[in-house]
Amino acid sequence: MNWDDVRIFLAIADHGSLAGAARQLHVNHSTVFRRLNAIEDDLNVRLFERLPRGYVLTAAGEDMLESARRVEADIADIERHIVGREVQLRGSVRVTTTEAVADAYLTRAIVDFCERYPEIVVELVVGYQVYDLSKREADVAIRPGLRPPEHLIARKLARLRWALYASDAYAQRYGVPASVTQLPGHRFIAFSDQVVAGLSFGWARELARDGEIVFLSNNLLVQREAACAGLGLAALPTYVGDQSPRLRRLFNLGDDMALDLWLLTHPDLRNTARIKAFNDFIVQAVTRDRAVLEGAP
């Protein structure tokens, strides 16, 4: 077997379908189907049961999975060490962050970076999915959280505080609370998922406990737009809520609801020239503009 065979096997095992594996590997469905059949023919063993609910590992497939994971880890280790030796300011940097951070600040900072380093191409992947830096799924992660993973190099960028927001339309129709004690009876926009990417947002539901939840979403930008339309009150990070001229900040929420914004890199890549240039640029940009992310009181 070669590494491509192992990648295809692992992709099918991870997704439980040919379609999911094809999306991950950026090939078409028929290619994955053909390659899997060839692998099983070469090994003279069936690795997956083809069931109505998807592709499920056979006993032989489960035996192979452990070895394949070790191969995957070894290949990723080799790639990181090779990339870590690069000294030229050219190539690509894959960055992952949340949609809210990208929208409020990071995209503009990356535009400035690309103008300074025109031979470095930045790929920005947004969403709440946590990409594994050890597997080179991304080179840099910029994530909100309470504490960073111990196996990664972490630099704290900012303290992200939250506040309660309302539109003028909501204020005219329902009035606005001046403190937490005046929240009962109001209409609220809240998280549909109380845990997103390992972060708990159950406190957002607690704020609305004595009121009426009228809209749910797992996306902060969607929640902001619903609040702008006057649908209800929304608890938002100040860097999200303050971006909209259609919202007014009513009052800040407790510091126990705040999160830190971390810049994360794998140790093997810390001295890669293009990645170090990107990380240093972002740290300097945030230091200069920290008030944008942290929000003035």
Per the prediction, the chain carries an average pLDDT of 89
pTM here?
0.70
Report pLDDT digits (tens) over 100-133.
Answer: 999 989 999 999 999 999 999 999 999 888 888 8
Residues 6+ apart with CB under 8 A from 280: none
H helix intervals, 84-160: 99-101, 107-116
Residues 6+ apart with CB under 8 A from 91: 119, 120, 121, 274
* Total residue count of the chain as it appears in this document: 297
Whether the predicted pLDDT of 84 surpasses 60 = no
Report pLDDT digits (tens) over 259-286.
Answer: 999 999 999 887 888 999 999 999 999 9
Q: Which pair of structure tokens corresponds to residue 289?
A: 């503009």
Q: What was the pLDDT predicted at 120?
A: 94
Q: What was the pLDDT predicted at 87?
A: 60
Q: What percent of the chain has pLDDT over 90?
A: 55
Q: Which pair of structure tokens corresponds to residue 59?
A: 């006993």
How remote is the C-alpha of 9 from its chain's centroid? 26
Residue type, 105: Y
Report pLDDT digits (tens) over 197-232.
Answer: 667 788 888 888 878 999 999 899 999 999 999 999
Confidence band of 89 (pLDDT split at 50, 70, 90) = confident
Nearest by Cα to 187 from 165, 167, 208, 216 = 208
Whether the predicted pLDDT of 194 surpasses 90 = no
Q: Which pair of structure tokens corresponds to residue 40?
A: 């099983």
Q: What was the pLDDT predicted at 107?
A: 94
Residue with tokens 């050219």: 90
As a whole number of Å, the CA-based R_g of the chain is 23
CA distances from 234 to 144, 190, 193 (A): 19, 7, 15
* Phi-psi group of 295: left, alpha or beta (phi > 0 → left; psi -120 to 50 → alpha; rest → beta): left
pLDDT, mean of residues 167-195: 92
Instruction: State which of 130-139, 142-151, 244-253 shows the largest mean pLDDT.
Output: 244-253
Taken in order of first residue, the domains within the chain and their CATH numbers are 3-83 (1.10.10.10), 91-150+259-294 (3.40.190.10), 162-257 (3.40.190.10)
Report pLDDT digits (tens) over 47-74.
Answer: 999 988 899 999 999 989 988 988 888 8
The DSSP H or E segment spanning 264 is strand 259-265
Whether the predicted pLDDT of 91 surpasses 80 = yes
DSSP state for residue 39 in the 8-state scheme = H
